[in-house]
């Protein structure tokens, strides 16, 4: 028998089909409750988010999807809304907590709409699960903290080893000068000479002690192990750029990325990201105040090396800096420390790579670092 439908039934069916289609496709959970809070409709995404089957959820109070204390207070909220019309969430939307069937709690964004059907109230809740988003934000914050920590440590290490290097020469000179003074004083008035000898002796011991402290510090920093693992270059660069963005480094600079599929390197990811962040910061500082600021980051294969370039169109490397760019404590900036590039080079070289600076033909500077590429196992690039 042919089922004949009138136009009204036809459009009703069509609307139902659309609604079902929407409910089944949309990634956010959609839940309908009545004026008492009883669940009337529970979409497939709601089943996935909360872990209840539709059949279990229908008819139960919406508070089963909330952790305490909200679950206990929900009825009261609804009463208050019905009697006062005061809106806390309806039509506003808010970040709240949800509770899954297994008791676990997750962050979600809840929007609530209100409707009426045959004189009865209905509320539609749309729920966007924020778990992934918050995890990413948390990971970014953690990464930033790790980077800061590494930056502080390798900054200190580099400074200590340059200090050791710089101070050892004058310390040696002071020691031999003091020895000479002691010899000279030995021939003068016996009592004054005695006191002077003691003082000079003490001074000399202090100088040697300072030298010893520095030597130990240097030994300590030289042992700083790096933890290498196989790191995907594109991801490592993306994260470094995300970190620079997260700390609002870019200001008005445009960022161009030209990172092909260059595979992986064996590296301490956090340390190389610190190098990238340093290079990015220098590039941005070189363009400060310019009307056009473009930062370009490229990665390409050079034989069995991966080359990452950080390019700017800033004022370029000052001629007097060229020979001493990578020496510690050399800076052209008022508040610069001049240790950034020295640390960067130490890090890159400890990875078996190189860090060099070039003039950008169009104006500005290009810093290139190379790292040994990890050979792909099996040799099948499409695997």
Chain positions contacting ligand ADP, by CB under 6 A:
278, 282-283, 286, 312, 314, 316-318, 321, 325, 331-333, 336-342, 365
Q: How far apart are CA 219 and CA 55, in angstroms?
A: 68
Report the half-sphere exposure of 317 (CA within 13 A, side-chain side): 21
Partnered with residue 296 across adjacent β-strands are 256, 311
What's the closest the beta carbon of residue 316 comes to ligand ADP, in angstroms? Answer: 6
Residue with the CB atom nearest ligand ADP in the bound state? 340
Smaller CB separation from ligand ADP, 82 or 333: 333
Smaller CB separation from ligand ADP, 239 or 312: 312
Smaller CB separation from ligand ADP, 236 or 283: 283
Number of H helices, E strands in the chain: 9, 12
* Of 93, 122, 123, the residue nearest 109 (C-alpha): 93
What's the closest the beta carbon of residue 234 comes to ligand ADP, in angstroms? Answer: 23
What's the closest the beta carbon of residue 255 comes to ligand ADP, in angstroms? Answer: 15
Q: Kindly give the residue spans of alpha helices, DSSP state H, lying in 85-189.
A: 131-185
Smaller CB separation from ligand ADP, 243 or 295: 295
Q: How far apart are CA 243 and CA 34, in angstroms?
A: 45
Smaller CB separation from ligand ADP, 273 or 278: 278
Smaller CB separation from ligand ADP, 158 or 204: 158
Smaller CB separation from ligand ADP, 260 or 336: 336
Cα dist from 214 to 19, 50, 86, whole Å:
74, 60, 69
What's the closest the beta carbon of residue 334 comes to ligand ADP, in angstroms? Answer: 10
For 228, the token pair is 């290498």
Burial class (CB in 10 A: 0-12, 13-18, 19+), 273: buried
What's the closest the beta carbon of residue 196 comes to ligand ADP, in angstroms? Answer: 44
Smaller CB separation from ligand ADP, 195 or 333: 333
Residues 6+ apart with CB under 8 A from 176: none
What's the closest the beta carbon of residue 144 comes to ligand ADP, in angstroms? Answer: 19
For 32, the token pair is 């309908």
What's the closest the beta carbon of residue 242 comes to ligand ADP, in angstroms? Answer: 21
What's the closest the beta carbon of residue 103 comes to ligand ADP, in angstroms? Answer: 51
What is the secondary structure of 117-129 as a DSSP string? ETTEEEEEEEEEE
Burial class (CB in 10 A: 0-12, 13-18, 19+), 316: middle
Characterize 196-214 residue by residue with b for buried, 16 or more Cβ atoms within 10 angstroms of its Cβ, and e for exposed: bbeebeeebeebeeebeeb
């Amino acid at each position: 028998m042919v089922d004949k439908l009138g136009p009204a039934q036809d459009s009703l069916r069509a609307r139902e089909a659309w609604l079902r289609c929407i409910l089944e496709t949309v990634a956010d959970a959609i839940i309908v409750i009545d004026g008492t809070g009883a669940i009337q409709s529970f979409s497939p995404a709601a089943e996935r988010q909360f872990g209840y089957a539709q059949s279990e959820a229908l008819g139960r109070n919406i508070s089963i999807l909330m952790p305490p204390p909200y679950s206990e207070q929900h009825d009261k909220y609804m009463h208050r809304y019905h009697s006062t019309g005061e809106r806390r969430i309806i039509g506003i939307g808010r970040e709240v907590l949800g509770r899954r069937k297994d008791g676990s709690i997750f962050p979600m964004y809840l929007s609530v709409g209100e409707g009426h059907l045959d004189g009865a109230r209905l509320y539609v809740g749309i729920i966007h699960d924020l778990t992934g988003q918050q995890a990413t934000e948390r990971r970014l914050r953690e990464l930033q903290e790790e980077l800061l920590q590494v930056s502080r440590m390798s900054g200190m290490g580099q400074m200590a080893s340059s200090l050791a290097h710089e101070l050892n020469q004058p310390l040696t000179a002071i020691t031999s000068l003091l020895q000479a003074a002691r010899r000279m004083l030995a021939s003068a008035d016996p009592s004054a000479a005695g006191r002077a000898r003691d003082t000079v002796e003490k001074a000399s011991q202090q100088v040697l002690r300072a030298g010893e402290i520095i030597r130990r510090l240097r030994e300590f920093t030289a042992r700083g192990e790096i933890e290498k693992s196989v790191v995907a270059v594109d991801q490592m660069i993306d994260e470094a750029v995300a970190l620079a963005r997260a700390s609002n480094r870019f200001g008005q600079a445009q960022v161009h990325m030209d990172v092909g599929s260059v595979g992986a390197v064996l590296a301490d990811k956090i340390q190389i990201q610190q190098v990238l962040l340093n290079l990015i910061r220098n590039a941005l500082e070189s363009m400060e105040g310019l009307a056009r600021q473009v930062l370009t980051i490229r990665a390409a294969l050079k034989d069995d090396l991966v080359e990452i370039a950080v390019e700017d169109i800033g004022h370029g490397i000052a001629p007097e800096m060229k020979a001493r760019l990578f020496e510690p404590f050399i800076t052209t900036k008022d508040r610069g420390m001049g240790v950034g590039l020295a640390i960067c080079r130490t890090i890159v070289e400890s990875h078996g790579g190189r860090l060099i600076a070039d003039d950008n033909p169009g104006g500005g500077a290009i810093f290139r670092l190379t790292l040994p590429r990890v050979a792909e196992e099996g040799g099948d690039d499409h695997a």
